[in-house]
Structure 1
Amino acid sequence: MNYITVEQISKAYGELQLFTDLSFSIHKDQKIAFIAKNGSGKTSILNILCGTDTPDAGQVVMRNGLRLAFLSQSPQFDESQTVESTIFNSDLPILKIVANYEKALLHPEDTEAYQKAFEQMDIHNAWEYELQCKQILFQLKLDQLNQKVSTLSGGQKKRLALAKALIINPDVLVLDEPTNHLDLEMIEWLEQYFAKAQFTLFMVTHDRYFLERVCNEIIELDHGQLYTYKGNYSYYLEQKEARVVQEQVETGKAKQLFKKELEWMRRQPKARTTKSKSRIDDFQDIKTRAQQRRKDHTIQLELNIERLGSKVVEFHKVSKAFTNKTILNGFDYVFKKGERIGIIGKNGTGKSTFLNLLTKTVQPDAGKIVIGETVKFGYYTQSGIQVQPGQKVIEVIKAFGEYIPLTKGRQISAKQLLERFLFDSKKQYDYVEKLSGGEQKRLYLCTVLIQNPNFLILDEPTNDLDIVTLNVLEEFLLDFPGCLLVVSHDRYFMDKIVDHLFVFKGDGEVQDFPGNYSDYRDYEASAPEEDKAKHEAPDPSRLEQNEAQKLNYNEQKELKNLETKIRALELDKKALEAKFHDSGLTQDQINALSKDLQKLITEIETKEARWFELSEKLEN
């Protein structure tokens, strides 16, 4: 059943043409993810779908009576309303019945009103719906129903908008970055909810695990063209790679044909037959295809990292609390060079406060924090870049100098640096406030990295960044030689980047877990119920009591991780070796591949040596 048809829509802002002649449709039960680079007009397309914006050309045709809900990145509410009145302010009949029943519960002395409300719940079979509403509000931590909207944080307002969209049970739910401002527990609940619910979804999200587990179709806007993939994120990656390779093959064939036809054109006399004129017309089409080039520029990150000394950062018996909330209670930790730590925990457990303590923008109540003399922090905060009215993109970077130092004594101009971060000459003179949310985050990332930090602190770095930029950032961080501390709800990002976790459990309890996020979830799932209830990790001393168990808990986890990583590296090695079969490789390309292969072999040998060391310890 067709719900929405988008017919040849176009949109421009001034001289900036976002997209032209785009057409697609949304059918019942589809769960579609829309993927495009930052600045391509993703949010504009969502706004056009929902009627909050209009296209310059084309139209959106909806099925009669279709009920649609839209979760925007910055939802707007009546600030004078309460959470409850905001949620129940709807034309949906069943929602009004539930609202009347909830109101009657507050006034049991009015027996007539209560009896009437009770009967309406029975007649319309609204009990299950009421339970569903309560579950949604509970999962999204919106239990203070009498709280004024004006007192909510930005994250709470986003969760309120999500709750309202889910509760009205629309035919089509349009979502713009639905996982932003949700903690990891909420995201996993939402995944399961969408898997069971009969929603038709159309969403923009950078959360690749969410894409993988929720969506059954992906629409990509790539170089002005729409491509549809009938599958999840893994299928999309495979098919896109195949499509790009095929395009390159076809362009290569067109180039060969173009050379041949060009020679024919040069040999022809001025007087031509009808047959030759037809061939001339075809020549123009061949020329166009032969000259097609993909503009797959990626961000080039290069830093002149300051040397990091032996002393990095030390926490000694640090405590911090606000009113009735304890953040840290006698926390001890000594950071080591090259550590890559992820921070996870529910909203409100103190993750951002911990980062502020580390950077000394907040002082501890007790204990001390010692920072090494060579440490240079780079702090990417959730608040993002501070936009100044009338400030241009180039001016933001020039504030750090006309020239920026790179490695090996080299330097680069502010203009060249911006080009590396995908801001072309025209975009560099745009006003910062005119950039999309993702472009502003990319510019902010640039300002943090060009200061050459050796201790990077990233607070929700993946919000609003497109998947292409995220992949480049991940590759850069994997090679980053300094310390790394990341707070993120992006599970894919955390799994790829960090080696161990600080798990903020609330009430000042912080667990140091040896592994990434997926390891932690596996551990949580396998832990005995009494351990889960106490929020405690298994005691390593208990594990060592087993005579056959010669490894402590951290070593067991390391051994398991090594096995996984070695298998992954072996697959990478096979893929790289296969590239040598390409007869069209130049000598420079062969040399580059050889260096990459040697690097992989060395890494495999290093990890295998550690694996044998731990295995021997287990057997002795």
Structure 2
Amino acid sequence: MSILSTEQVSHSFNDKWLFTDLHFALQKGDRVALVGINGTGKSTLLKILAEIIIPNKGRVVKEKGLRIGYLHQDPDFSDLKTINDFIFSAENEQQQLIKEYEELIDNQDVTSKKFTEITDKLTALNAWEYENNIKTILSRFQITNFNQRIDSLSGGQKKRLALAKLLIDEPDIYILDEPTNHLDIETIEWLEKLLTTGNKTVLLVSHDRYFLDNICTEIRELDQGSVYLYKGNYAYFLEKKAEREANEILAADKARNLWRKELDWMRRQPQARGTKAKARIESFYDLEEKSKGPRKKDQVELSVKVSRQGNKILELENVGYSVPDKTIIKDFSYTFKKGDRIGLAGKNGSGKTTFLNLITGAISPTHGELSVGETTKYGYYKQEGLNAKPEERVLDVVKNVADFIEMKGGEVITASQLLTKFLFPPEKQFGLVSKLSGGERKRLQLMRVLMANPNFLILDEPSNDLDIDTLNVLEDFLEQYPGILVLVSHDRYLLDKLTEQLFIFPGEGEVVIYNGNYADYKLEQEELNKKPEKKVEKAKPVEKKQKLSYKEQREFENLETEIASLENSIAEKTEALSTTNDHIELQKIAEEIENEKLALDQKTERWLTLAEFI
């Protein structure tokens, strides 16, 4: 039996119907992911179900007394001054007692009588466990100063605060719009466990595919005003969606063939008057609509030129950064190499953004040396978002960087043409930046970074506010990207797919280099945690590798060819020694043989090392 549902709900936005006569129902214990491309109405449907907005037609029906917790993408804290004001609801007696208790603890002038009174009330209401639960949740989201003003918080801190409050209130239904944005990986994994215990009812929109797989037992796709249901995880949804679209294309082909025959009949007919003829004409127009088939979805096109990269890229030697009473980065050394694909992992506040600012020159190290190659060209996609004035037009924001852009194949296109490839049609191009959605602003920001043709690409939380379809295109582009890639992301799927090495930030200024992706690292940590009798250094990788990374596998395959080539070259040059009497030529050939033998020894040793893990 449904505890929350819609009855023939229809809603429009900017004179466009998002959906009509839509039926959507949730039963107790359902854990549902709502997916679909940007603009289909996912967030609007969530707000209708949460009774934040009223639909143009139809209504929402819910079980009596049902409490709904709704997480906005951009929470609004109007009329609230401090974190205390928001966290502790006036209508919740337990929360108000806990708030009073916290204020008494901070008050040095409190009398023992008053303190005893409040503790007795907390005991009578069995609120001590609840108070501990509140503190656990708030500390997990790094919220410790309850007197901090809300208007002093960043966008990410506000999102975490809103999510913490929702979890504290323990609603009957959790409706979550992009809950993983601005959370670190450890907190996301903790949130997964919390949402999957206690038979909770969850409806969420998220771009995080691992989060979807771990939370949801059902995927519902909102597409062109209709909802398609898939029982299973996200991988199952992709498989069945492809089957559905293939069947729709076949059905459209059949309808098109029949429509052509009916078209001949229509052309031969005089003005129809009979009932049968009228019914056939109506059927013809219905058939015409079916013959059009599924609408082709617009997709971002990513293809830009990458600047030439020299041998020296970026070298760090004992680089560190400190502020008074705190070391953020401690004595880190690394030489970047061609083809490096590095993921940064660690809790919020562990130093990842500081590290990015160091390597891009935004700040200088307090000690150590950092040397950048002459041909290194950075492209830095920042988490903070697009740096543009709200009154600027979209086209002007791009033209401020360049009027013409060189693409991968050497083609030169205009700024307007590039915007079109990034799904900004002419009417959007001449519109104001302030009118763009969050996802559109992120897409425009990504375009501005790529159009500069960087060979050292830094992406700080690129998946926030991007829909899954755009993310898939970005992943395909980055898989083929020939430059250096440094990725900071809470999206574990993205880290696993695009990186082959991790810089782990465990805290206290340490940076640990780990060879492998996040799944490898997580698996090793779980294995180590199963052996508590052994003392394990935090975030330190085990010495023995479990398998070759993709990059090492390619290196191993290439080494076999290179070794064979060197052996042939040495044999040919050794034979050439006996066919010449020129002592200068003899000396030259002998030196070449010696150098090639040295190279052969090195490559053979490397091949043997890698072969141990095959």
Q: Shorter-chain-normalised TM-score: which range?
A: 0.7 to 0.9
- Give the structure-2-normalised TM-score: 0.84
- In structure 2, the partner of 1:258 is 259
Instruction: Give the distance between the partners of 1:414 and 1:8, measured in 2 at CA.
Output: 44
Task: Establish whether residue 136 from structure 1 lines up as the match of residue 137 from structure 2.
Answer: yes
- Cα distance in structure 1, aligned partners of 2:348 and 2:39: 30
Distance across 2 between alignment mates of 1:69 and 1:45: 15
User: For the structure 1 residues 538 and 277, does the alpha-carbon distance in structure 2 shift closer, same or farther, using more than 3 Å as the test?
Assistant: closer
Give 1:182 deviation, angstroms: 1.0
The residue that corresponds to 1:576 in the other structure is none
Which structure has the larger Rg over C-alpha atoms?
2
Which residue of structure 2 aligns with residue 213 of structure 1? 214
Shift of 1:67: 1.5
The reply on whether 1:37 has 2:37 as its aligned counterpart is yes
Q: CA deviation at 1:411?
A: 1.5
1:534 counterpart (520, 533, 537): 537
For 1:67 and 1:470, locate their aligned partners in 2 and report how far apart those are by CA, in whole Å.
34
- Residue 558 in 1 paired to residue 548 in 2? yes
Which range moved further: 118-127 or 33-42?
Answer: 118-127
Indicate how the Cα distance of structure 1 residues 389 and 371 shifts in structure 2: closer, same or farther if over 3 A, else same.
Answer: same
Q: Secondary structure of the equivalent of 2:220?
A: strand
Matches of 1:357 and 1:267, distance apart in 2: 76
Q: What one-letter code is carried by the residue in structure 1 that aligns with 2:389?
A: Q
One-letter amino acid matched to 1:417: L
Please name the residue that 2:287 is paired with. Answer: 286
State how far apart, in whole Å, the 1-side matches of 2:371 and 2:102 are.
54
In the alignment, residue 370 of structure 1 is paired with which amino acid?
S
Alignment partners' CA distance in 1, 2:550 and 2:247: 39
Residues 348, 133 of structure 1: alpha-carbon distance in 2 compared, 3 angstrom cutoff: same
Of 315-324 and 24-33, deviating more is: 24-33
The question of whether the paired residues in 2 share the 8 Å contact of 1:7 and 1:58 is answered with yes
- Give the corresponding residue for 1:605: none
| Pair 1:11–1:186, CA change in 2 (3 A) | same
The aligned residue for residue 178 of structure 2 is: 177
1:188 aligned counterpart, secondary structure: helix
TM-superposed CA distance for 1:150, in Å, is 4.2
Say whether the 8 Å CA contact 2:548–2:613 is kept in structure 1: no
The code of the aligned residue for 1:558 comes to: L
Determine if the alignment matches structure 1 residue 92 to structure 2 residue 99: no
Q: Which runs of 5+ in 2 are unaligned?
A: 557-603
Pair 1:7 & 2:20 matched? no
Classify the secondary structure of the residue corresponding to 2:423.
Answer: coil
Q: Which moved more, 1:318-327 or 1:207-216?
A: 318-327
Q: Distance in 1 between matches of 2:533 and 2:540?
A: 11
Percent identity of equivalent pairs: 44
> Which residue number corresponds to residue 580 of structure 1?
none
**1:392 shift after superposition:** 2.4
One-letter identity of the residue aligned with 2:26: I
Q: What does the per-residue CA deviation read over 1:480-522, in whole Å, with 9 as the maximum and x for residues that have no partner?
A: 0000001110111111110110001122210000111111111
For residues 67 and 523 of structure 1, do their structure 2 counterparts lie closer, same or farther at Cα, with a shift above 3 Å needed?
A: same
How far apart in 2 are the matches of 1:509 and 1:137? 26
1:176–1:204 CA contact under 8 A, matched in 2: yes
Distance 1:344 1:388 in 2: 32
Helix, strand or coil at the partner of 1:349: coil
Cα distance change, pair 617–134 in 1 and its aligned pair in 2 (3 A)? closer
Give a deviation string over 1:71-92, Cα, whole Å, max 9, x none: 2222233687443443222423
Residue deviations 1:151-184 (CA, integer Å, cap 9, x gap): 4333222222111111111112221211111111
Distance 1:86 1:304, change over 3 A: same
Q: 2:23 aligns to what SS in structure 1?
A: strand
Change (3 A) 1:383 1:391: same
* Partner residue in 1 for 2:464: 463
Which deviations, in whole Å up to 9, do the C-alpha atoms of 1:346-390 show, x marking residues without a partner?
111110111111110111111221111111111100111123233
Q: Which moved more, 1:610-619 or 1:426-435?
A: 610-619
Aligned counterparts, 1:415-430, within 5 A: 415-430=416-431
Q: Per the alignment, do residues 508 and 298 of structure 1 end up closer, same or farther by CA in structure 2, a change over 3 Å counting? A: same
User: For 2:296, what is the secondary structure of its paired residue?
Assistant: coil
Match of 2:383 in 1: 382
Distance 1:102 1:198, change over 3 A: farther
Partner Cα distance (1:204, 1:618) in 2: 40
Q: CA deviation at 1:10?
A: 4.2
Question: 2: distance between equivalents of 1:330 and 1:313?
Answer: 16
1:391-430 alignment, distance < 5 Å? 391-430=392-431
In structure 2, the residue matched to 1:165 is 166
Residue in 1 that maps onto 2:491: 490
Q: Which moved more, 1:454-463 or 1:279-288?
A: 279-288
> Quick one: which amino acid aligns to residue 234 of structure 2?
Y
**Map of 1:548 onto structure 2:** none
Deviation at 1:268, TM superposition (A): 4.1
**C-alpha distance 274-305 of structure 1, shift in aligned 2 (>3 A):** same
- Of 507-516 and 28-37, more deviation after overlay is shown by 28-37
Equivalents in 2 of 1:261, 1:532: separation in Å?
79
Superposed CA RMSD in Å reads: 3.1
**Distance across 1 between alignment mates of 2:200 and 2:605:** 49
How far 1:445 moved relative to its partner?
Answer: 0.9
Q: Which amino acid aligns with 1:393?
A: V
Q: Match for residue 60 of structure 2?
A: 60
Mapped contact 1:38–1:439 kept (Cα < 8 A): no
Residue in structure 2 matched with residue 71 of structure 1 by the alignment:
71
The 1:506/1:53 distance shift into structure 2, 3 A limit, reads same
How many angstroms apart in 2 are the aligned matches of 1:114 and 1:564?
A: 68
Tell me the matched-pair count.
564
Post-superposition offset of 1:107: 7.6
Cα pair distance change 1:37/1:325, threshold 3 Å = farther
On the 8 A contact 2:248/2:293 being kept in 1, the answer is: no
Query: Aligned to 1:558, what secondary structure does the other structure show?
Result: coil
Q: Could you say if the C-alpha distance between residues 389 and 291 of structure 1 is closer, same or farther in structure 2, counting changes exceeding 3 Å? A: same
**TM-score normalized by the length of structure 1:** 0.83
Residues 378 and 453 in structure 1, CA contact (< 8 A), matched pair in contact too: yes
Call closer, same or farther: CA 1:307–1:610 in 2, change over 3 Å: farther
Q: Structure 1 residue 123: deviation in Å?
A: 4.2
Determine if contact 1:351/1:504 at 8 Å carries over to the other structure.
yes
The alpha-carbon deviation at position 617 of structure 1 amounts to 4.3
**3-state secondary structure, aligned to 1:502:** strand
CA separation in 1, counterparts of 2:190 and 2:65?
30
Post-superposition CA distance 1:537-575 (Å, at most 9, x none): 2563xxxxxxxxxxxx35x44279989999xxxxxxxxx
Counterpart CA distance in 1 for 2:294 and 2:4 is 33
Q: Within 2, Cα distance between the matches of 1:375 and 1:561? A: 22
Amino acid at match of 1:64: K
For 2:276, the aligned partner's letter is K
Q: Cα 1:610–1:82, aligned 2, differ >3 Å: closer, same or farther? A: farther
Gap change, CA 1:560 and 1:295, over 3 Å in 2: closer
1:95·1:168 contact (CA, 8 Å) conserved in 2?
no
Structure 1 distance, partners of 2:161, 2:535, is 29
Cα shift readout 1:11-68 (whole Å, capped 9, x = no counterpart) = 4454555554433123322222221222333333333333443333333333332222
- 1:219-368 matches, within 5 Å, as 219-268=220-269, 273-368=274-369
Q: SS state of the match for residue 370, structure 1? A: strand
Give the partner amino acid of 2:463. Answer: T
